[in-house]
Amino acid sequence: MKRIIAKSTLREFWGKHADSEQYLKTWYYTAKNGTWFSPNDVM
């Protein structure tokens, strides 16, 4: 598994932009727990 964005990078961002925290957490857990076989699956 390759990491495109580290969770620490997301934490740093939402530390500066608090209104984005819940959206980024949702995106992170959705992406992390998804079943991806190819880049087309992400779309």
Return the C-alpha torsion angle 30, 4, 8, 43, nearest 10. -30
The pLDDT of residue 40 is: 85
The pLDDT of residue 36 is: 83
The answer, as to whether pTM is greater than 0.75, is no
**Cα dist. 40→5, 14, 26, 27, 31 in Å?**
18, 28, 20, 17, 14
Planar angle of CA 23, 24, 29, nearest 5 degrees:
105
Q: What is the pLDDT of residues 1-43, one digit of tens each?
A: 556 678 899 999 999 999 999 999 999 998 888 888 888 887 7
Q: Which helix (H) or strand (E) holds 21?
A: helix 21-33
The pLDDT of residue 10 is: 92
The pLDDT of residue 42 is: 76
